[in-house]
Amino acid sequence: MFAGCGDVRSPGDDPRADPRDAAKVSAGAKIYAQHCAACHGAKLEGQANWRARLPNGRLPAPPHDESGHTWHHPDSVLFGITKRGLVPPYAPLDYQSDMPAFGGKLADDEIWAVLGYIKSHWTSRDVLDARAEMTNRRR
């Protein structure tokens, strides 16, 4: 990790989603507002009762702030889910989700920018330490 660098944000495991890149985070904020906020919340708060299934059996959109579970996943998984939707290998074959695939709407660089924006909100020492540990285990 970047201990002693003064910046408490961790870049995570893929430099294309670097939350320290101000231009990328700014672009990601705009893309997030246009394509993600309607479901995941303008402040990354997710939908109410996101852990409880809806009448149709699907789960509401989870938060992308530190109260959710997004930060538990490696960048490659978050990229894959955003690009392809919740399909294998990111979910079981018959999993039903309202999460659309954005691969046909957003370029890869735009998806990475959104992930950088989301990650820029993960600032608590607990989350950063957990992500650093996860990243180190993957190497």
Write the pLDDT tens digit of every residue in 80-115: 999 999 999 999 999 999 999 999 999 999 999 999
CB 64 within 8 A of CB 43: no
Looking at the chain, the whole-number percentage of residues with pLDDT higher than 70 is 90
- Provide mean pLDDT across the span 107-135: 94
Angstrom distance (rounded) from CA 5 to CA 27: 25
pLDDT at 11 over 50: no
| pLDDT at residue 117 tops 90 | yes
The mean per-residue pLDDT over the stretch 57-83 comes to 95
Mean pLDDT throughout 6-11?
A: 41
pLDDT the model gives residue 138 = 64
pTM confidence score? 0.89
Question: What pLDDT shows up at residue 5?
Answer: 33
Q: What is the mean pLDDT of residues 44-70?
A: 96
Nearest CA to 136 out of 6, 7, 35, 10 is that of 10
What is residue 12's predicted lDDT score, i.e. its pLDDT? 63
| Cβ 20 vs Cβ 2: under 8 Å | no
